[in-house]
Amino acid sequence: MKLVAVDIGGTHARFAIAEVAGGRVVALGEPVTLKTAEHGSLQLAWEAFAVTQGCTLPRAAGIAVAAPIGGDVIKLSNNPWILRPALIEERLNVDSWTLVNDFGAIGHAVAQVPDSDFIHLCGPEGPLPDRGMITVCGPGTGLGVAGVLRHAGGYHVVETEGGHVDFAPLDKIEDALLQHLRKTFTRVSVERIVAGPAIVAIYETLAALQGTPVARMDDKTIWAKALDGSDSLATAALDRFCLALGAVAGDLALSHGPKGVVIAGGLGLRLKDHLLRSGFGERFVAKGRFRNLMAGVPVKLITHPQPGLYGAAAAYAQEHDA
């Protein structure tokens, strides 16, 4: 059957026609990306997407939303849209639908995309295990964390708030980073260290340690300088970010039961080449008495271009056994 897959974030809402069968995604059409600022609601963006298709849309929807799912009203972060689940059928003219958190959708994508949509970062070569918990974490505006429990009957996605566990510094530079962040936050979570905006604090901490005065820059500017290599301090901040991400991913895997790990998110994909050359892998396994255990955990990066849309469709297929 066909359905509309939707992935709603703070800046963009993405749509595509998907086809599912046997509880899995079998096809995902060309995505259409709309700016949320140019549409007053999901219904209006949905209707704009329908115009691009030139036909009546399927009467089913899988919708991923960058917000906690639950309650009568869902308010999105960095997006003025308000979703009322009770009105989805009426407003979108659908007969069935599934609503899932955006990182829950990523978990569904991890469970269903083919092995060709992953690249190997560290640990044993080969596919992810078909049994046990796979940890999924993705640096973006925040740090998304989910678990995918694979079992004989299929899989189950566990949405978590693992990005908000406490940060544990591992050397003097990270001690200084923690002190820098405590000037603003009483409690420093790992999201303050390994999400896109965190590069600012890392950059400023390294500058202070170096005794180098720097102009205040936003995270986009620092990332651009780090990725093009035009600023050695920004490059150092990028290296430190990769180290911290390896440590955090390893901690999350230990918490879930270390069987496999997938790095996701748009920023994760942008860092592909840097993660492979960085100390990410060494920090991932550096867990004291559990080093040998962690060395046996495969760590992958998902490279599918639209995991949110794919995962929204997969979540619908699983819930409705479609």
Q: Name the nearest CA neighbour of 134 among 155, 119, 153.
A: 155
Q: Name the nearest CA neighbour of 203 among 220, 190, 191.
A: 220
Binding residues: 6-11
Count CA atoms closer than 13 A to 36's CA, side-chain side.
20
The pLDDT value recorded for residue 148 is 97
The pLDDT value recorded for residue 1 is 96
The pLDDT value recorded for residue 77 is 67
Place of tokens 């190997």: 120
Read off the pTM.
0.92
Three-class secondary structure of residue 184 per DSSP: coil
Confidence of residue 320 (pLDDT cuts 50, 70, 90): very high
At the top level of CATH, the class of 162-302 is alpha beta
And the tokens for 68? 């906690």
Rounded distance, CA 291 to CA 293, Å? 5
For 258-267, write each residue's pLDDT tens digit.
899 999 988 9
Helices (H) and strands (E) in the chain, counts: 12, 14
For 169-179, write each residue's pLDDT tens digit.
999 999 999 99
Binding residues for ATP: 6-11
The CATH number assigned to the domain with range 2-113+305-320 reads 3.30.420.40
Q: What is the mean pLDDT of residues 235-264?
A: 96
Confidence of residue 59 (pLDDT cuts 50, 70, 90): very high
What is the residue extent of each domain of the chain? 2-113+305-320, 162-302
